[in-house]
Amino acid sequence: MESAPAAAAQPRQEPAAEASGLSLKDRIARDLGQRILSGFYPPLAVLPTEAELCAHYAASRTALRDALMTLSAKGLIEARKRAGTRVRPSADWNRLDAQVLEWMGEIEPDLDFVRGLIEARLVIEPAAARLAARMASSGDLAVIEAAYEAMCAAPENDLAACLDADVRFHSGILRASRNPVFANLANMLAAALSFSFRLTTSATENYQRTLSAHGGVLEAIRMRRENDAQRQMSALIDIASLDLLAVADKAGLKERRSADRKRTR
């Protein structure tokens, strides 16, 4: 197995730690993580040596090793004696880690992951909505309703406000299901929704329709209509997935064109 290209082989503008608000350790972890997630360092590739990485990032060995420990904890790399630090198979990557999702939102989307995220939501959230229609307390309903009202009130160009309200709406339903597994998925789903939302902000064409669909889910849960709540949530995710799939298809077309250009050279 050949070593991956040195980090300096593909220079890119890297913000200073102070400007990005991140420590040097976190900046290195983000940059290396994104290089791995984007395929610059593919699975099973050996990373540049510690000395090369320290020189590239102008970092101490302590800062670099802390960054590598972060990546190791997320399943992205593993260190072996006398074999260097190797990228782990992509199946081992913890893509639902909030920080990994944040890194992924800043690079070209992974098409398989985007589609997998939609499929997972279509399985989990309609079932949670059905349970919420049966089990939600008045307090649970108040949380979901407040989140929906915040979605309606948020300006469409205020990404932070829209995202916060949307996450609170879906997380509230998971917790209202009173299923401990679904409730524990709320934090994971919040990170996944953030990833999805960042991908589609420039492509969103269904915002008002999506608001109406959220209202339909809320009403079905409030009226204890279990079948309707499940159906309404499935319809909501179908609408929300249109923009995600559009982004994924656009990225796939870009990749195919790039591959075609390389073949014709």
Q: Which amino acid is at 23?
A: S
Number of Cβ within a 10 Å radius of residue 246? 15
Tokens 């006398």 belong to which residue? 82
pLDDT number for residue 162: 87
Distance CA 238, CA 74 (A): 30
The pTM (predicted TM-score) of the whole model is 0.75
Backbone angles phi, psi at 80, to 5 degrees: -130, 140
DSSP 49: P
Tell me which long-range contacts 164-171 makes (C-beta under 8 A, separation of at least 24): 166/193, 166/197, 167/193, 167/194, 168/143, 169/144, 169/214, 169/218, 170/125
DSSP 265: -
Cβ 66 vs Cβ 160: under 8 Å? no
Rg (CA), the chain: 21
Assigned token pair, 126: 């309609």
Name, in order, each residue with C-beta under 8 angstroms of 33's C-beta and a sequence gap of 6 or more.
71, 74, 76, 99, 100, 103
Cβ 128 vs Cβ 177: under 8 Å? yes
The string of pLDDT tens digits covering residues 85-129 is 999 999 999 998 989 988 988 888 787 888 888 888 999 999 999
Walk along the chain (265 residues) and give the pLDDT tens digit of each residue.
555 665 544 434 444 444 468 899 999 999 999 999 999 999 999 999 999 999 999 999 999 999 999 999 999 999 988 789 999 999 999 998 989 988 988 888 787 888 888 888 999 999 999 999 999 999 999 999 999 999 999 987 888 888 899 999 999 999 999 999 998 888 778 778 777 776 665 445 566 778 999 999 999 999 999 999 999 999 999 887 777 777 666 665 555 445 444 444 4
Angle between helices 61-73 and 50-57 (to 10 degrees): 110
